[in-house]
Structure formats: structure tokens, C-alpha cells
Amino acid sequence: MAKRAGVSIATASKAINDRGEVAAATRARVLRAAAELSFQPNVLAQGLVAGRTRAIGLLTDEFDGRFAIPILLGAENALSDQEMSVLLCDTRGDAIRRNHYIRTLLARQVDGFIVVGDSNDVRASLTADLPVPAVYVYCRSTNPADLCLVSDDEGGARLAIEHLIALRRKHIAHITGPQHYRAARDRVAAVHAVLAEHDLSLAGGQPLHGEWSQRWGRHAVRLLMATAPEVDAIFCGNDQIASGVTQALVGLGRRVPDDVAIVGYDNWEIFAADCTPPLTTIDLNLQQLGTTAVTHLAAALSGAPAAGVVRQPCRLVVRESSA
């Protein structure tokens, strides 16, 4: 290309990279030669010269689970817009695999990391082992200096209960997952707070904690109806529980939503949209979490890192189970 344009290799490089010390006519001649030869710059070489590879490492513990794929899609879309790439590694919750992938990604000179959790809960910080910036998504790091992006579980629960109250439901129960999950505890706290603001109390007295499963939903709602038959609405900790609750209510002769309104959580299409009736639920905006992670990582790479916990707002998706 330099030969065709009649310039030195150094001048051709400066013209292609739009550096200011090249005359306009010379740059035009080089660019014309590049177009005629269908020249494409070596992005890897450019990155190495600039100290950047324009690649991001993404570590997840549960690639085949509910949460990682939407986050990955959001991150990949945002990285693509910036002409960057993502290298995905599934650690499967294994520390040895995680350390191996960290070493491998650092050997490939990735510019930064996105670390994806599986439960919106606390996980050990990896930052001390990383010489490049990292952003934690759908998890909280043990290091307060790390930036962690999480779904706003309290805000999501508030949306659910306020929706049911707006439908004039007075006897609202809560069936959810294991109590050791931070997300479950945060939602319970929000449920009690919103009900108290409206001079209401939780039907049955206490939330029912169990598995994140349809089976638990079916079992729990039978227990609930035996002790609190006045229940006219149930907020469920995820869409699987809500699907099981809806199935069991039909067997108990209760109509949804006429007798009992149901709200789930997660907006997992396979359960929410295909349930009978389709579930009103809380969407976590997981793709937006991935997009926001890239925005914050780009800021850190530009010398403006952030720290602390940032809560991503959820949204209410209304379907027939409450309408």
C-alpha cells in the first residue's frame, strides 16, 4: 500500500491512523491506495501498539442458568457498538477453573473483566488478582472499592405489592425461595414495608420460604390456603414458584385472577408467558445490566473508575394473572 501511494511505510501508517503530521493530499493518496487494495488494518497489532487489545474477559459461574445469558447479550451488544469483543469463560463455580481462566485471559491481554454472579448475592472479590479494571454484575463483591451492578430487589418487590394493592387486594401473601438468599430477604423486607404503609399485614403472618421451584409453589399454596383461606393475592419469589402456585390453585377450586391474583418475579418467558393464565411478573432488565457494565468498564479504562453498589431498577410486566 505504501509503495502504491508513493510514500514510506511510516507515512502510510500515520495516514491510516489519522495522525496529524501528514499532509491532507498525502493522506488522501494513501487512503485511495488502501481502498484500491482492500486494505484492512491489523486490529490486534494496533491494540498492542496502543496498549489495548479491545477485548474484555467475561467470567460467569452459571452460563446455562437464567441470568448469565441476558447479561452477556447486553454486554456483547454494547461492546460491539464500541468495536470491542468479549471472551466468555464459564467457571462453573469452581475456583481452580476460575483461576485458570483468569490467567488465560490475562495472557491474552484483555483490557478488563466483567464478573457475572448467579444470585445477586455477595461473592469474593477477584480484584486483587487482576491488574486491569473489573465490574461485578448481578452480585456484590466483598471489596467495597469494587463497582457492583445489581438488580433492585427491594424496588422490584415494592412494584409487585403496590400493583396488588392498586387492584384492591387486602389479603396478600408471599411465597419465596430460601431465606439464606439476600434477594429473598430484601424482597421480604420491602413487602412488609409497603403493606405497613397501607395499614395492611402479610396474609398468613409470615412469608413461606422454600425452594425456587414449581413443586415448592404447589406445596406452599396448599399450606397457605389451609391456614389463611382469605388470601386474595400472592406475590411469588420467582416465576417457577408462581407457575406452581397457579397450578395448585386451580386444583383447589380458586380462580386466577378472580379469586386470587398472582405476581411472579424474573419475567422468565418459559414460565411467565406460557403459564395459564400468563403471569404478571417483575422484569430484572438483565440485558440493561450488561449494557451498563460495559459503560462503567469503559469509564474505568478511560481513568474514571467508580465504586460501590449500583441498583438497576426493575419493571412491572402486567399479564392476565393479576389483570
Digit-coded pLDDT (tens) for 143-179: 999 999 999 999 999 999 999 999 999 999 999 999 9
The DSSP line for 60-120 is ES-TTSTTHHHHHHHHHHHHHHTT-EEEEEE-TT-HHHHHHHHHHHHHTT-SEEEEE-SSS
What's the rounded Cα separation, in Å, for the pair 133 and 114? 9
Beta partners for 242? none
What's the rounded Cα separation, in Å, for the pair 22 and 201? 74
**pTM: predicted TM-score of the whole model, two decimal places:** 0.81
CA angle 211, 245, 313 (to 5 degrees): 70
Q: Which helix (H) or strand (E) covers residue 317, if one does? A: strand 315-317
Phi, psi of 248 (to 5 degrees): -70, -35
Q: What is the pLDDT of residue 48?
A: 46
Eight-state DSSP code of residue 22: S
The pLDDT tens digits for 74-93 are: 999 998 888 888 899 998 88
The closest of 137, 128, 131, 111 to 59, measured between CA atoms, is: 137
The closest of 295, 305, 303, 255 to 276, measured between CA atoms, is: 255
CA angle 23, 28, 32 (to 5 degrees): 150
Residue 151, all three cell numbers: 438488580
Q: What is the pLDDT of residue 41?
A: 55
Average pLDDT, the chain: 88
Eight-state DSSP code of residue 144: T
- Are the beta carbons of 6 and 23 closer than 8 angstroms? no
